[in-house]
Each structure stands twice: as structure tokens, then as C-alpha cells.
Amino acid sequence: MTLPTIYFILLLVCFIALIPFVKKILRNFHRKRKYTAILKEINLLFQEIDAFKVAKDARIKYEKSLTDLYYGEIDICALLDLLDIASPPQQCVFYDLGSGCGKSAFAVKLNYPHLKVHGIELIEELHDIANQKLHQYLDKNGLAHHDFGLEFIQANILNHNFTHADIIFINATAFSPGTWQQILYKLMQMKCGTKIIITSKTLPSPAFVIRYQAMELMSWGFTSTYIYEKVI
Ligand SMILES: C[S@@+](CC[C@H](N)C(=O)[O-])C[C@H]1O[C@@H](n2cnc3c(N)ncnc32)[C@H](O)[C@@H]1O
């Protein structure tokens, strides 16, 4: 084999190896363009908020499993694309279980104005930020809370009834196995047809069927992500 042929083969191998990365970069670029207006609004609204620090400082108060309250955020474009795949019908009820400072629930509301969006968060300090940002947005745009259809609830998701939800999002990576078991039990009570978007964890029960599976970007890196449908 001649030297130019070897160079050519090496180049070809490098090119093929780079294809997935190039694809990821292009997808990210395309997503950012698709959701420019929403990203701008969210970045402006939450610009001075450091939810990671707020969560870290507040965690000490709560007697929860060490990892349950670790904070992280899903990439907003990734969540909106996942929701697009779940294709929410009109009049649909969406829940973010563990909604943090409210960014992800806000983004969902802005992209799908017809959805009724609820965010449940245990940490009071994070819940307060979400509520404050909601009222700031409503005031700025002259909107009434009742008509807007975005609500933040400070509660433990393990004690809250969300059986009327049509689509649920759970950024579940940090949940301990014990907590995940209890969440799984609650998800078993959901009605047929409910879609559940989850990061990292799975739903090992014949009551749920995987409709979509991918790796998506979180604040800490790429994570496996699933869309399940409750079928029994
Ligand atoms: C990884 S963060 C996700 C934030 C947001 N949903 C996102 O993806 O950008 C998980 C959140 O769940 C909250 N959390 C953990 N256990 C909870 C519980 N039992 N009830 C309500 N919220 C809980 C944590 O405090 C944290 O804010």
C-alpha cells in the first residue's frame, strides 16, 4: 500500500468517526435557532438566578436521601424537542416533577401556550424563585395568573396527586433507588395514555412501553432519556 493511500484511509476513518459529533453540533445549532425566542425570554427572566447555589444552600434543611435534592437542569431545547416527540394534544396537562427554579416548566408553557403546566418542587427557596419569576412575567406582559395556565406548587411529589396529568417530565437522575421505587408506584396509578419523559431511570413494568430513547444534554452532560407511555 502506498503512503498516499494510507493517508487517505486514515482521513476517511477520522471523517467517519467525526460524523456523530458533527451531527450533534448541527442538531444543537438547529435547535437553538428553532427556540431562539423562548431561550431569550428564559435567559432574560432568570439572568440573575443561580439555582445551583440556592439548592446547595437549602439542601441541609431537608431530611431526604443525600442525592435526591442534587440540582441539575435539562437543556431547554432538548426538553422542548422531547415534548414535541410526545406530541401533547390540545387541553393537555403537563407536570414537571421536581421543577427546581421553574425554568423547564416556563419553557414548556411558552412553547405550548395551550397546555396547563404544573411544576412541583420540594425546596421552598427554589419554589419561591419560580413563583417570583412567574409573577414578574405576568406583570410585564399584563397577563392574569388564572388565565395563563402555569402553576408552581411547593410539595413533596411523593405526597401529591398528579393522576390527571397527560404528560409528566421527571429529571430523575439524582433520585435514590428508594425514592424511585416510590415514584414508580405513583406512576402505576396514572391513566392509560399518559406519557412520561424521564432522564436516566427506567420504568421496569409491563404497564409502560418505551416510545422513544435517546441521549440528551443536561447541565452536567449527556444522559439517557426515555419517553414511556402507560398502556395498562
Ligand atoms: C435535577 S432537578 C430538575 C430541575 C428541572 N426539572 C430541570 O430538569 O431543569 C430535580 C429537582 O427535584 C427536586 N426534588 C427532589 N425530590 C423531590 C420531592 N420528593 N418532591 C419534590 N421535588 C423534589 C429537587 O429539589 C430538584 O430541584
37 in any annotated domain: no
29 in any annotated domain: no
Q: Find the domain containing 74 and state its range.
A: 50-230
191 in any annotated domain: yes
Q: What is the CA(102)–ligand 1 centre distance, in A?
A: 10
Query: Helix 124-141 and helix 103-111: axis angle, to 10°?
Result: 30
Q: How far apart are CA 68 and CA 178, in angstroms?
A: 10
Residue 73 CA: nearest ligand 1 atom is: 9
Least confident of 9-13, 47-51, 134-138: 9-13
129 in any annotated domain: yes
pLDDT for 63 beyond 80: no
27 in any annotated domain: no
Place of cell 451531527: 23
Q: What is the pLDDT of residues 85-141, one digit of tens each?
A: 999 998 899 999 999 999 999 999 999 999 999 999 999 999 999 999 999 999 999
Sign of the torsion angle spanned by Cα atoms 52, 53, 58, 59: positive
The HSE-up count of residue 2 (CA atoms within 13 Å, CB side) is 3
Cell of 35: 427556540
Q: How far apart are CA 51 and CA 102, in angstroms?
A: 10
- Label residue 17 exposed, middle or buried (CB < 10 Å: 0-12, 13-18, 19+): exposed
CATH number at residue 121: 3.40.50.150
Total domains, the chain: 1
Q: Whose CA is nearest to atom 10 of ligand 1?
A: 98
Residue 126 CA: nearest ligand 1 atom is: 27
114 in any annotated domain: yes
